[in-house]
Structure 1
Amino acid sequence: MNWARLALRFGEPLLPLGRRVPFAVQKLVLEKALARIFARPLQDGAFDLLEGRWLRLEISNLGLAWCLTRTPGGLRLARRAPVDVCIRGNWREFLLLASRQEDPDTLFFRRRLVIEGDTDLGLAVKNLLDSLDPEELPPQLWRAMQELGAALRQ
């Protein structure tokens, strides 16, 4: 059994504990990670469509949710905000989406991921994420995401 299968097998029961992490810690970690991971797309204006608008990401089966917007300082998270659009799904679908193991349109068409609210903004965000070049991610992160996604598909 490879490391990705082991990580999924033993890590999955621990995932719901993420909701016990104080929001301030989640915010700090996620904002720093997003700034690093999306440094070039942020610099190129790819996330400007979220300026003054709020996206809520909900991982339903883990009880986790974050509201995300674009500010002059970068991507910012809030626990609650007047959201324009919400994208909801289970952690597995988000991992399949991020690792490019599943086509985003398929996930949305089969209602494994759901967009509610301003669907034009939701589709623009989906298309933005789909257009990002995974080769610009830190190589170890991209490799790990691919291996975890592939193990999940099996």
Structure 2
Amino acid sequence: MLSRAAPFLLSAGERVLPLAAHVPFFLQRFTLQRSLNQVFAKAMQEGLFEILEQRWMRLQVTDLNLSWCLSKEPGKNRLLIKDRAPVEVTISGNWREFLLLASRQEDPDTLFFRRRLQIAGDTDLGLAVKNMIDSLDSDDLPSWLWQTIETLGKEAVPAAG
């Protein structure tokens, strides 16, 4: 069912996602912080996000004009999101590239090598974050969420040729 709806959902995303830039930041922060902390609770307990403790990275979705600064709260298993922070690294790209990364439809190294995703600033931290993202286990996500991400990612894969 979801695979049949995927082309429609991606097409709708092209029109609806740009509206997210008009959502007040406090709502973006509330939604993202709550969601990310729930989705990545196990990974944080396992210490996967320690690389971001007391360090800030910016995630920038360029085609949607959205960006968020992320860090791990010192001594707690909780991600923080701010609109401005002393970021050490920025990872940027279009939303479809982030979808391909999240759905594991394209290798992270390929996305960065082909400059479809870019790292600016502290490249060592950026590569550590990229490796952390790559090591996240999809089995730790709620099955409905992983199925949705994977299905949409498969539909978003650029046509060969």
Superposition TM-score tier, normalisation by shorter sequence: over 0.9
1:70-129 superposed Cα distances (whole Å, 9 cap, x missing partner): 003410000011100000100010000000000000000000000011100000000001
Counterparts in 2 of 1:18-33, with a 5 A limit?
18-33=20-35
Query: Residues 34-91 of structure 1, C-alpha deviation per residue, up to 9 Å, x if partnerless?
Result: 1111011111111011111100000000000000000034100000111000001000
1:79 corresponds in structure 2 to: 83
Report the RMSD for the aligned CA atoms in angstroms: 1.0
**Secondary structure class of the residue paired with 1:2:** helix
Match of 1:113 in 2: 117
TM-score by length of 1: 0.97
After the TM superposition, list the runs of 4 or more consecutive aligned residues in structure 1 that deviate by more than 2 angstroms.
none
**Partner residue, 1:34:** 36
Deviation at 1:11, TM superposition (A): 2.4
For 1:48, which of 47, 50, 69 is the aligned residue? 50
Q: Distance in 1 between matches of 2:117 and 2:26?
A: 26
**How is 1:4-153 mapped onto 2 (pairs within 5 angstroms)?**
4-71=6-73, 72-73=75-76, 74-153=78-157
By how many angstroms is 1:133 displaced? 0.7
Ranges in structure 2 where 5+ consecutive residues have no aligned partner: none
Identical columns (%): 54
The count of aligned residue pairs is 154
- When normalised by structure 2's length, the TM-score is 0.93
